[in-house]
Structure 1
Amino acid sequence: MTNALPISINRHATIYRCPPVLSTEVAGEATMMDMESGLYFGLDSIGTDMWQRLEHPQSLAALSDGMAQDYAADADRIERDLGALLLTMADHGLVEFR
């Protein structure tokens, strides 16, 4: 793997969904609401797949490896894209890293 991720994310840290977030799937896409802020968020079908996989906390490494295999895509690219999305989601209180 390349060192293309921001330093603030450890690929071996476990990713957890934050508890105050409610989510549902509509037409193959996830819609989420942060109960504390009242903000709504939406994910496309690939983001929804990632969100579903996070039903069981896992590391970025495991998440990206699984998605790269299922989508037959470059693992480095998947990890970079997931890392960027997850950092944005963490900024909005949807996920956290431990």
Structure 2
Amino acid sequence: MVELTMRAVVPPHVLIRQLDGESVLLNLDSERYFGLDATGTRMWELATTQPCIAVAFEKLQEEYEVEPEVLRNHLTEFLSGLVENGLLQVLPPDVGPTPTI
């Protein structure tokens, strides 16, 4: 389960390409790709570049006019889906990225 206190990390087997505000994520292990619209791309950008998901949530709150609880649910569901598809890892804020072999 994704929690706001966690940190989002892009696994080494995931490639992302952005074009016109949208993104395509490619899982090299499963050879599956996923498209993100502009909102999904923004959530991805903030979640993967902030020290924890809570900071990304706060920035998204400033950018979008949406109730905090609705945003929290959408963000955690979105990130959970990415985790389930091997496109994202969530770690406690004090743990480094998983080592690559």
Counterpart Cα distance in 2 of 1:24 and 1:9: 24
- Tell me, in whole angstroms, the C-alpha distance in 2 between the residues paired with 1:51 and 1:9: 14
1:61 and 2:61 matched? no
Residues 3-82 of structure 1: matches in 2 within 5 Å? 8-82=1-75
Runs of 5+ unmatched residues, structure 2: 92-101
What is the RMSD of the two structures over their aligned residues, measured on CA atoms? 1.4
Q: Displaced runs of 4+ in structure 1, greater than 6 A?
A: none
Aligned residues of 2:26 and 2:34 also touching (Cα < 8 A): yes
1:57 deviation in Å? 4.4
Query: How far apart are 1:38 and its partner, in Å?
Result: 0.7
Provide the identity percentage. Answer: 23
From 78, 87, 91, the counterpart of 2:84? 91
TM-score (norm 1): 0.82
| TM-score where L is the length of structure 2 | 0.80
